[in-house]
Amino acid sequence: MVLTYEKKDKIAVITLDRPEALNSFNNELLHQFSRALINFRDDEDDWVLIITGAGDKAFSAGFDLKEEVPKTFPSMITRGLEIFKPVIAAVNGVALGGGLEIALACDLRIASENAKLGVPETKWGLMPGWGGTQRLPRLISPTKAAEMLLMARVVDAKEACQMGLVNAVVSSSELMNTALDWAKQICRLGPLAVRSTKKAMWKGLSSSFDDGLCLEEELFGLLRKTNDAKEGPRAFAEKRKPEFKGK
């Protein structure tokens, strides 16, 4: 196995497990990662996902250039697989090329102090192919994105946080604890509300403002019909914590 999939209550953790190759992707890891993502998406008991890498040197160095590049790639969160449950990247060390592109496809990114992030594909005569050219300029300023994309520039954790590429920087020893704490905070919220909010946010970014408002209105209307949406106000009125069921 080049990947582990663990469950901690309502939190799933995917660990890319090729530390000897900086958790870079070979064909086996590609397919195991895709299956793990689909498993998380389809499991009603899993509410939040954390993605990280084995060891303390690398989240992932992207696709292993020693491997033959496949003609087609399995569906992943970078392209072809939509997951509206929250996904957190715990970036432990280098996140380069496809490794950073996976982190970019997550909703929240927490980096260890030794993290290095970049999309240096042009250095090897290639280009980002897992969404980096599209997500990076939407996430940070286009001028900074151009530096990273066109100059193969790698940034450290501190600069990544300053430019909004990651949400927070913590010590290596506290990285997973922080990611789990964030995931637990999300699990206290209404899961259907969180998923609808995520869908409205990310779908809205690729739509016009008016279309985004229409999507928000549609999702709001659907959410109001759920049991969770009734439980929240009821718990508020009764001065207790809500008990959300995801229904």
- 226, two tokens: 């759920």
Identify whether the C-beta of residue 129 lies closer than 8 Å to the C-beta of residue 189.
no
As given in the structure block, the two tokens for residue 225 are 């019909």
> Could you tell me the strand order of the sheet in which 3-8 lies?
3-8, 11-16, 48-53, 87-91, 108-112, 168-170
Give the end-to-end CA distance of the chain in Å, rounded to a whole number.
34
C-beta contacts of 177-182 below 8 A and 24+ residues apart = 178/90, 178/110, 179/50, 179/52, 179/88, 179/90, 179/110, 180/8, 180/11, 180/50, 182/88, 182/108, 182/110
Residue 157 exposed, middle or buried by CB count within 10 Å (0-12, 13-18, 19+): buried
- Cβ neighbours of 230 (radius 10 Å): 12
- The backbone torsions φ and ψ at residue 128, rounded to the nearest 5 degrees and listed phi first, read -60, 135
- Rg (C-alpha) for the chain, rounded Å, is 19
Catalytic positions are: 101, 121
Tokens of 165: 């590429």
Q: Which residue has the tokens 């927070």?
A: 168
